[in-house]
């Protein structure tokens, strides 16, 4: 192929423009959102949860969660007086369509426990990723980079809370993003927005005016599996000891 000087001079700026547009593929940062000013978590008030499944449906809609997989789900516990440490746990379709009605048990109790990624400050899942595809952001949200993820599922095994899955079509690890696309725009998460009783609340631990600080001081709040030292940031109020 012969390229004359004239053609080369035309081609060069065209190539430069094309390369610029390739580089410009990454979206801009949200203008008013400063990552260093937030440290996100969630508060779950067990005595308020009615097991309606609104959070599960809202999450699936907002985040296109594939059928049969869950970024958040609700479990119904049945704990009997004589077997406190072996509860009977059900979660039909993640609690998406609610739960079958149960009759009062004179020898036990029933309650609901919503679960989601705990957005651990020292998360086991980010430590095992061999390619740097999962990480905790400076504002405390554990995310997956779908362009870097190989789908090796090390993180799926590492999560002590079972909050990750391999996306059946994308073949990459997928999980709760704490609705990062919403919270960075000043909205709450889809699950919190749609919780009718306020059993789930998004909390910002770096915001001194957030009611979470008052709540943590005045209530008996737990995290799941504290013995694993994950630094979980999903706080449960009124959590029963039988919940694992």
Partner 1 sequence: MNLFKDAGHLFRFAGLFVIAFIAFLVIRGYVVPKSFGKYGHYRAAAIDEIAALPIKYAGHQACETCHTDIATVKGKGMHAHVNCEACHGALAAHANDPASVQPVKPDTAVLCVRCHSASAARPKNFPQIDAAEHSNGVPCETCHNPHSPAIDAGGAK
User: Which tokens is 103 given?
Assistant: 């009759």
CB of 135 to partner 1, least distance (A): 4
Among residues 39, 44, 54, 161, the one that binds partner 1 under rule CB under 8 A: 54
Paired strand residues for 43: 201, 235
The verdict on 27 binding partner 1 (CB under 8 A) reads yes
Residues 205-234 that bind partner 1 (CB under 8 A): none
Judge whether 120 and 235 are in contact, CB under 8 Å: no
The verdict on 177 binding partner 1 (CB under 8 A) reads yes
- Determine the interface stretch with partner 1 among 54-62, 162-170, 203-211, 218-226 (rule: CB under 8 A): 54-62
CB of 51 to partner 1, least distance (A): 6
The verdict on 182 binding partner 1 (CB under 8 A) reads yes
Among residues 41, 53, 94, 114, the one that binds partner 1 under rule CB under 8 A: 53
Paired strand residues for 222: 236
CB of 55 to partner 1, least distance (A): 10
d(CA 118, CA 113): 13
Measured from the Cβ of residue 107, the count of other Cβ atoms closer than 10 Å reads 8
In the stretch 77-116, what mask flags binding to partner 1 with x, by CB under 8 A?
A: -x-------------------xxxxxxxx----xxx----
Residues 113-152 that bind partner 1 (CB under 8 A): 132-138, 143, 145-148
Q: Tell me whether residue 35 or residue 153 sits nearer to partner 1 (CB atom).
A: 35
User: Which tokens is 52 given?
Assistant: 């309606």
Backbone angles phi, psi at 70, to 5 degrees: -140, 135
Q: Tell me whether residue 145 or residue 216 sits nearer to partner 1 (CB atom).
A: 145
User: Which tokens is 74 given?
Assistant: 């609700």
CB of 195 to partner 1, least distance (A): 7
User: Which tokens is 213 given?
Assistant: 């600080």
The verdict on 187 binding partner 1 (CB under 8 A) reads yes
- Determine the interface stretch with partner 1 among 45-53, 167-175, 205-213, 219-227 (rule: CB under 8 A): 45-53
Residues that bind partner 1 (CB under 8 A): 26-30, 33, 35, 47-54, 58, 61-62, 76, 78, 98-105, 110-112, 132-138, 143, 145-148, 177, 180-182, 184-185, 187-188, 190, 193-198
């Amino acid at each position: 192929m012969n390229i004359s000087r004239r053609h080369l001079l035309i081609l060069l700026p065209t190539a430069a423009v094309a390369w610029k547009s390739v580089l410009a593929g990454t979206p801009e940062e949200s203008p008013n959102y400063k990552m260093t000013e937030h440290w996100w978590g969630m508060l779950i008030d067990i005595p308020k949860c009615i097991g309606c499944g609104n959070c599960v449906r809202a999450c699936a809609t907002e985040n296109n969660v594939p059928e049969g997989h869950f970024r958040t789900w609700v479990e119904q516990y049945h704990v009997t007086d004589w077997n406190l440490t072996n509860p009977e746990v059900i979660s039909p379709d993640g609690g998406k369509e609610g739960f079958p009605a149960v009759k009062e048990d004179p020898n036990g109790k029933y309650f609901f426990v919503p679960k989601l990624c705990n957005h651990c400050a020292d998360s086991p899942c980010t430590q095992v990723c061999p390619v740097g595809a999962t990480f905790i952001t400076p504002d405390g949200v554990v995310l997956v980079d779908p362009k870097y993820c190989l789908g090796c599922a090390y993180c799926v095994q590492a999560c002590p809370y079972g909050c990750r899955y391999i996306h059946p079509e994308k073949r990459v690890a997928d999980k709760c993003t704490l609705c990062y696309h919403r919270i960075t725009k000043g909205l709450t998460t889809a699950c919190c927005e749609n919780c009718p009783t306020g059993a789930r609340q998004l909390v910002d631990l770096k915001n001194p005016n957030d009611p979470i600080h008052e709540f943590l001081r005045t209530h008996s709040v737990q995290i799941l599996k504290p013995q694993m030292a994950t630094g979980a940031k999903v706080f449960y109020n009124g959590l029963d000891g039988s919940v694992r």
